[in-house]
Structures are given as structure tokens and as C-alpha cells.
Amino acid sequence: MNEQQKLKKATYHLYTFLISKMVGSLGAGVYSFGMSLYILSKTGSSLSFALNVILSFIPRIIISPIVGILSDRISRKKLVLGGQAGVILTVSALLLYTHEFGLSLAAVYTATVFNSIFSSFSSVAFSASIANLVDEARLQKAMSFNQLSSSVAGIGGPIVGGMLFGFVSMEVFLAVFIFAALVTFTLEATMNFNLFKKESPTNDVQKQETMFESFKAGFRYVNTQPTLKAILWLALWLNLFFMSVSVGGSYILVTVLEIDPTQIGFIEAGGAIGMLLTSIYFASRKQIQFPLVIVKRSTFATATVVMLIGLPVLFPLPMIWNFVYYFVIMVLFGTLGVITNTPLGVMFQTTITEEYRGRVFGIIEMMSMSAMPIGTLGYGVLFDLIPAYYILFASGLILMALVLLLLRPSILEMAHPELKQTEGKVVTE
């Protein structure tokens, strides 16, 4: 295949990737919304709801490093499609069970565990394959499309789910998800996952290693890359302290300020709107020249936003201004999330060596996901003991300190040696 044919195929991948991720994310959003409302309406217990969330985290934490190893050993396309097939079979089994016996809490929890396992195969293997699907010049657009699909799901999932819930049976929610997953499976099956793959002589050596030796090799590789190691630690701490927003934001809106549930829905949609607009911007602009500089600024700004979340508790506002304030906060959160994640995604795809990419993405997912249940439980206890604004202000300050420490000038210059030539200038690209 000549270069022109490769670029044509890469263009096909780019838009097929957008459609498949958008349809799949929307179907998953509808399913998640329906299952969440089912659990809450059936039990009335936030603990039952939290248990379902934790069951979606734990398997991914355990399985992600294993999937990462497999992604560097066998066909990533087979792992992606196998994961998708597993999700389809799991929800199809849940649909059959529901049709025969009616939906039950135990069945939902079981499906959550298996969905989490199979989703790990798809997400880790696909993340490790993006640089093989599109050319380097369009990696930023591909990463932006990934964020775009998430934002569409964030907006459309609750809207479609809200329209369906109460008017149709839970079987319809399951059928919608199965249909969306089948579309995703079909589209991804047409992709060439080796289009831009660079073969390495170490691949044969790796296949002779045990799984444990391969796992250790992945960590050794990360340890030899100071920039990558700093980013991984930053991702871990960001996910941990961002739980202060997930837990504390809902606590403030519902319990402290008693904002109307309808308005809370619009506030939460603000994050997806911010993601959508920023994703479109990144997809249409040229590739960022100094991504880690942008990441440092965006994460520092995000830490500032975390500190501002508790402000209306200290300085009471009329209810309408509380709504406007938190809607803007969520738009900023969504916007800054994309500004952080898109350059990072491009960096990962371009700087991680091909033969280690699967293992590194497995480690990234493991570290990112492991912080979430810990942060959820930890902040759940803290918000019952300490006023919310103190917790959020302290979390923001700690995040700022971590950003300054982990993305210090020496790390930035290591990632972008050309920064030395721009000292004294404002970096805008």
C-alpha cells in the first residue's frame, strides 16, 4: 500500500472512529442512565448505587495491566473486537434474563462486572492502536474526536435516557445498548489496526517472556522515561483529588444549597457542553507545539476551579445565580478536561515506543481508575465531617502544588528541548 492509499485509509479510520465511538458512547450513556435510575428507584439507597459504581471500577483496575501485556503480544484488533463481543453477549444475556425472570439487582451487578472486564479489553487495546490507525499529523484530531464522542454521550445519554425511563420497559434500554454496541463492532471490524504500525525486533523477545516478566518490563520502561513517569503520577493524583468535585459538588448542590433537581441536570450537562465545544476547536486547529506546557496551565487552572466550587457556600447567592455560577463552573471543567486530555493523548501516542504502548496504556488505566474508588470513599467520609468549602479549597491547593512539582521546568524542558530557545517568549502553540 503506497503513502497516498494509506492516507486515504487513515481518513476513513478517522471518521469511522468518530461515528463508532459516538454511537457506542451514546448507547453506553443511555444504558448507564437507565441502570442508575433503576437501582435508585428500586432500592432508594445511595449505597446500592455506589456499589454498582465501585463494581465498574474494580475489575478494570485488576484487568487493565493484563490487557496491556496482551496488547503488546497479540493482535490488538482481536482484543478490541473480542471486548466488544463480550459486552454484547453480556447485555444480551441480561436482556434474556430480564425477559424470562424480570430485572434484578443481582443481575445488574453481575452485568456491571462483566461489562467492566470486557470494556477494558476494548478501551486499552484501542487506545494503544490509535497511532496505528491514523497518521501522526492527524493524531490531535483523532484524540479530539474521542473527547467529542464522550461529550455527545454526556449530553445525549441523560436526555434520551430521561425520555425513555418511565415510558418504556428496561428491556428497551438494554436493546438500545446492544444495537449501539453492534454498530460499533461492525465499524471497528472494517479498520486496519496495522496501517501505520512500526515493527520492532523486540516483539519476538517479548513473546518468549512470561506475563510477569513482560509486566515488569513495562514498569521498567516507564521508569526510564521521566516525563512519562511524571505524567502518570499526575494522572493518579488528579483523579484522586477530582473525586472532591464528583462527591463534593453533588453534596453542595443537593444537600447544602438545595438546588432544584432539574437545574442540577442542566448544571451537569454544562461539563459535556464545554467538552463538546473544546473538542470541535481542537479538531479544527493545527497540532499543539508544546503539549506539556498546555497541560501544566490547564491543570493549574482546573485546581483553581476546584477551589472556587465552595465559594457560594461561604457567600450565599440568590438561587438563580447559584445555578448560573455552577453551570459556568461545569463548562469550565469540561473545557479544561479536554485541554488537558487531548495534548496528553497525542503525547502518549507519539512518544511511547510501539512495543510498550499496550502495557503503558494498561498501567495508565490501572493508575487512573485505582484513584477513583479510594477518592470516592475518602471524600464521602470527609464531607460528613468537615465543611465542604474547606475540603475543596485544600484539595485545590494540593493540586496546584502537585502540578508545580511534577511538571517543574526541568520536566518540561526534557519533554520539549526546544523550549530553551523560546525562553522569555509566550508559548501559544
pLDDT digit string, tens, across residues 225-235: 888 888 888 88
**CATH number corresponding to 1-189:** 1.20.1250.20
In whole angstroms, what is the distance from residue 155 CA to residue 29 CA? 9
8 Å CB contact between 256 and 388: yes
Q: Which of 178, 169, 180 is CA-nearest to residue 34?
A: 169
Backbone angles phi, psi at 311, to 5 degrees: -60, -45
φ and ψ of 165, to 5 deg: -65, 130
Q: Give the model confidence (pLDDT) of 243-262 as tens digits.
A: 777 777 777 777 777 777 66
DSSP string, 180-198: HHHHHHHHHHTS-TTTT--
pLDDT at site 322: 86
Rounded-to-integer distance, Cα 351 and Cα 227, Å: 10
Cα separation values, 94 from 106, 157, 172, 179, Å: 11, 20, 12, 14
Q: What digits encode the pLDDT tens for the residues 24-61?
A: 888 887 888 788 778 877 776 666 777 787 888 888 88
Query: Tens digit of pLDDT for each residue in 173-206?
Result: 899 889 999 999 999 999 998 888 776 655 555 5
Instruction: Give the 3-state secondary structure of residue 168.
Output: strand
Same fold, 1-189 and 219-415: yes
Task: Tell me what pLDDT residue 426 has.
Answer: 44
CA separation, residue 22 to residues 212, 267, 346 (Å) = 36, 22, 20
Domain ranges of the chain: 1-189, 219-415
Residue 83 φ then ψ, to 5°: -65, -45
DSSP SS3 for 1: coil
**pLDDT at residue 420, rounded to an integer:** 64
Strand partners, 170: none
| DSSP helix/strand/coil, 165 | strand
Asked if residues 86 and 117 have their Cβ atoms less than 8 Å apart, the reply is yes
The distance from CA 254 to its chain's CA centroid, rounded to whole angstroms, is: 25
Q: For residues 384 and 42, give the distance between their C-alpha atoms in angstroms, rounded to a whole number.
A: 25
What are the residues facing 165 on neighbouring strands?
A: 168
pLDDT at 428 over 50: no
pTM, two decimal places: 0.79
Instruction: For residue 427, name the pLDDT band (cuts at 50, 70, 90).
Output: very low
CA distance 409 to 151: 32
CATH class of 219-415: mainly alpha
Report pLDDT digits (tens) over 365-416. Answer: 887 777 777 787 788 778 778 888 888 899 899 989 998 988 888 888 887 7
For the chain, the maximum distance between any two Cα atoms, rounded to a whole number of angstroms, is 70
Kindly give, in sequence order, each residue whose CB lies less than 8 Å from that of residue 188, ignoring residues fewer than 6 positions away.
Answer: 16, 20, 77, 80, 81, 84, 126
The torsion angles phi and psi of 22, rounded to 5 degrees, stand at -65, -45
